[in-house]
Amino acid sequence: MATDRTRTAILNAAERLYAERGFSDVTLRDIVAEANVNLAAVNYHFGSKDELIAELFVTRSIATNRERLSELKAVEDAGGGRAPIESVMRALVGPTLRGCLGPDRQRSTAARFMIRASIEAVPPIRKIRNREISHLRRFAAAMRRSLPGCPDVDIYWGLHFALAMAHQTIRDSERLDKLSEGLCDLNDVDGIINRVVTASVLALTQRPSAATARAQRA
Amino acid sequence: MATDRTRTAILNAAERLYAERGFSDVTLRDIVAEANVNLAAVNYHFGSKDELIAELFVTRSIATNRERLSELKAVEDAGGGRAPIESVMRALVGPTLRGCLGPDRQRSTAARFMIRASIEAVPPIRKIRNREISHLRRFAAAMRRSLPGCPDVDIYWGLHFALAMAHQTIRDSERLDKLSEGLCDLNDVDGIINRVVTASVLALTQRPSAATARAQRA
DNA sequence: GTCTATAGACTGATAGAC
DNA sequence: GTCTATCAGTCTATAGAC
């Protein structure tokens, strides 16, 4: 029992610190100080710093993906196997955005950790991260079902841009807040999700080659 | 003369390594090995690792901003002080995207370094970076001139999303390449710029509140 | 200005007492 | 399982010969 408490304390402290300051700037000593445990406990429970990071990442990765897929399944089932594109994109970016910007503090840390992991591709994470490709492919497939006529290349770019907007909003919310002098409300999670979803869907559905040509000439 | 050569060799090697692997993962020893100079030369010429990073960032920051503003001025002058919104967005994301994904290797390193700097907000950079806000405000002002009726809050979100798409494309081009199995051509810089510009402009101009409400219900 | 050599302070990991 | 003590390795920065 006491062993589990130590293990959990380390995991929580590590996730919080990594999410805030990044992997290379947080030492094991920082973590054990935050967790109020002994330095040797980390290596006893996890073997090494890299294995601790990997365990955090795998756990959170599975949880986030499950949440996304469950939301996707719900909207596709409701539509007889084919959801509106808005709902698909919402299932993609909603869980992460709600987790990072919402009021729910515990999930916030988890999601921030995942964003950090996506930025600092530290070796233990890089290996595991390739699995995410197959996860995203399931969303690409759902998007294809929602937009049967849409070329694959546009599907992938749309997926990429949606994640880009969601992640950057979490990552750099401070700059947007300063730039807009508070005008952009970063506590209004639903509003942000709507903006990201709307922008992604527009880019996906209203991309006549004419618009591209026009932009190019300008 | 020989002193300048050493200085330049350090700057070039540092920028290349930082761009590739990030700040905290690159040591002064890595840099002097790459530059073929002595370890002590770094501290002689720059004082400290942080001052070396700061010098790189300031130099490149000024260059990138100048390039953006020069492109902005050109299109605004051509339109009598008011450019089409496509051209404004192009001036914002074009220089960075061309620099990072284009064939021009030297500028590529510079732009990649700036992306890295925007990710790893290391202390020496964090201080300087607040100046960027005022730079971006000039673009917000130009966007307002292009879209007189557009609410400020939408201007800021549009600016934010455009940078998000541009940066994420540079940062994570590898994943997009794998995900799309090469379908998304990351060497076609003009095509990418068009996609980013088109998506940003659509989000800015075709955001009737009806679309938001529709997406929310779905 | 450029070098060698090294100081001084960190890091992750471990041996061994309890 | 938890601790103290410490190892061996790394880092930045600097003193001093040339």
Domain of A32, CATH number, reads 1.10.10.60
Q: Which residues of A touch B198 (CB under 8 A)?
A: 203, 207, 211-212, 215
Residue B29 has which token pair?
């020893």
pLDDT band at B129 (very low <50, low <70, confident <90, very high): confident
Do A61 and A4 lie in one domain? The reply is no
pLDDT band at A166 (very low <50, low <70, confident <90, very high): very high
pLDDT at B126 (0 to 100): 82
Is A180:B156 a contact under the CB 8 Å cutoff?
yes
CB contact, 8 Å: A128 with chain B?
Answer: no
Comparing B67-76, B122-131, B180-189, the range with the smallest average pLDDT is B122-131
Q: What is the mean pLDDT of residues A117-135?
A: 86
Residue nearest to nucleotide C5 (CA to C1'): B40
Do B88 and B179 lie in one domain? The reply is yes
CB contact under 8 A, B199 and A198: no
The rounded distance, in Å, linking the Cα atoms of B85 and B77 is: 14
Do B113 and B147 lie in one domain? The reply is yes
pLDDT at A210 (0 to 100): 42
Do A210 and A141 lie in one domain? The reply is yes
User: Does A204 or A4 have the greater pLDDT score?
Assistant: A204
pLDDT at B210 (0 to 100): 42
User: Does B131 or B67 have the greater pLDDT score?
Assistant: B67
Is A158:B198 a contact under the CB 8 Å cutoff?
no
CB contact, 8 Å: B215 with chain A?
Answer: yes
pLDDT band at B217 (very low <50, low <70, confident <90, very high): low
Query: Within the 31-90 window of chain A, which residues sit less than 8 Å (CB to CB) from chain B?
Result: 75, 84, 86-87, 90
Q: What is the pLDDT of residues B142-171, one digit of tens each?
A: 999 999 999 999 999 999 999 999 999 999
Do B75 and B181 lie in one domain? The reply is yes
Do B117 and B37 lie in one domain? The reply is no
Do B107 and B211 lie in one domain? The reply is yes
Comparing A10-19, A52-61, A101-110, A139-148, the range with the smallest average pLDDT is A101-110
The rounded distance, in Å, linking the Cα atoms of A67 and B109 is: 38
The rounded distance, in Å, linking the Cα atoms of A57 and A49 is: 12
CB contact under 8 A, B179 and A167: no
Mean pLDDT score across all residues of chain B: 91
Residues of chain B with pLDDT > 70, as a percent, come to 94
Q: What is the mean pLDDT of residues A100-113?
A: 84
Residue B12 has which token pair?
């070039």
**pLDDT of A215 above 80:** no
CA B116 to the chain's CA centroid: 9
Highest-confidence range of A119-133, B19-33, B101-115, by mean pLDDT? B19-33
User: Does B105 or B167 have the greater pLDDT score?
Assistant: B167
**pLDDT of A104 above 90:** no
Q: What is the mean pLDDT of residues B83-110?
A: 91
Residues 13-52 of B with CB under 7 A from strand D: 27-30, 39-40, 42-43, 47-50
Q: State the total domains in chain B.
A: 2
pLDDT at B120 (0 to 100): 82
Q: What is the mean pLDDT of residues A113-139?
A: 89
pLDDT at B208 (0 to 100): 62
**pLDDT of A213 above 50:** no
pLDDT at A208 (0 to 100): 62
Helix spans in chain B (H): 2-21, 28-35, 39-46, 49-78, 85-101, 105-119, 123-129, 131-146, 152-171, 173-179, 189-205, 209-217
Residue of A nearest to B177 (CA): A156
Do B112 and B28 lie in one domain? The reply is no
Do A66 and A36 lie in one domain? The reply is no
We report the CATH number of the domain holding residue B199 as 1.10.357.10
Comparing A9-13, A76-80, A209-213, B7-11, the range with the smallest average pLDDT is A209-213
Helix spans in A120-179 (H): 123-129, 131-146, 152-171, 173-179
The rounded distance, in Å, linking the Cα atoms of A171 and B175 is: 18
Rounded to a whole number of angstroms, the distance from the CA of A133 to the nearest CA of chain B is 6
Mean pLDDT score across all residues of chain A: 92
Q: Which residues of A touch B168 (CB under 8 A)?
A: 160-161, 163-164, 167-168
pTM of the model: 0.92
**pLDDT of A33 above 50:** yes
**pLDDT of B75 above 80:** yes
State the nucleotide closest to A37 in CA–C1' terms.
D2
Do A58 and A126 lie in one domain? The reply is yes
Q: What is the pLDDT of residues A127-146, one digit of tens each?
A: 888 889 999 999 999 999 99
Structural domain range at position A152: 50-217
Question: Which residue matches tokens 């080659």?
Answer: A209
Do B60 and B31 lie in one domain? The reply is no
Do B56 and B137 lie in one domain? The reply is yes
